[in-house]
Amino acid sequence: MGIIAWIIFGLIAGAIAKLIMPGDDPGGIIVTIIIGIVGAVVGGFISTALGFGAVSGFNIGSFIVAIIGSIVLLVIYRMVVGRR
């Protein structure tokens, strides 16, 4: 799946990650969406590299990987920014 598809997935996954993990995030919704995009891309690369199968197309497996990547990156972001 191409990078454009992961960006689109990331937009959606970022919004869902924000719904799953509500709270105040520094930067607001724009930063959360950017984190969703980056998390989806990183999640896709990591899942493929770890051998969970190639992430291809708009399917439920790819969507779950994108959401998990977004949530993990959002947790890391909150831990780093929360320490300040």
Q: How many domains does the chain have?
A: 1
pTM of the model: 0.74
For the chain, the straight-line distance linking the first and the last C-alpha, in angstroms and rounded, comes to 37
Report the distance separating Cα 26 and Cα 77, nearest Å. 9
Report the distance separating Cα 73 and Cα 67, nearest Å. 10
Question: Exposed, middle or buried: residue 72 (CB in 10 Å: 0-12, 13-18, 19+)?
Answer: middle
- At 13-47, the pLDDT tens digits run 778 877 887 776 666 777 877 887 888 778 878 88
Domain encompassing residue 56:
3-82
CB 73 within 8 A of CB 38: yes
